[in-house]
Homo-oligomer: A and B are copies of this chain.
């Protein structure tokens, strides 16, 4: 029924240092200690850390995880805030996908255009170098 920090880590896929870090920043409460000053965790902490990890896996940053945790405490409240948080995060993920997709096109166009040869002829370098105002070496 009681875990050491290492066991809690194994159970949740979290490194020991990360758990201590979460404690330091107040995301996890300070747990009880054994006589030998080891942290001692129970089911409640396991649940809380699992929650945190799943939210992190979904890409929520820690401050949003914090918000989700405190929202989830009051089960009678309207879930609109939770949903808004998730919607915001989804929008952010979508923005990143758009950005990266544009990047991918640029990069692959660059790669397609390079035909090998010397750096002097490489289209990738050429694309990076500033527009030739007059013909001299960088």
Q: Could you list which residues of chain A lie within 8 angstroms of chain B, going by C-beta atoms?
A: 43-44, 46-48, 50-51, 54-55, 58-59, 68, 71-80, 82-83, 86-87, 89-90, 93-94, 96-97, 100-101, 103-104, 106-108, 110-111, 114, 116-122, 124-125, 127-130, 133, 137-138
Q: Are A58 and B116 in contact (CB under 8 A)?
A: no
Number of copies: 2
Q: Are B129 and A79 in contact (CB under 8 A)?
A: no
Q: Are B107 and A93 in contact (CB under 8 A)?
A: yes
Q: Are B80 and A116 in contact (CB under 8 A)?
A: yes
Q: Are A71 and B119 in contact (CB under 8 A)?
A: yes
Instruction: Kindly list chain B residues whose C-beta atoms are within 8 Å of the C-beta of A107.
Output: 58-59, 86, 89-90, 93
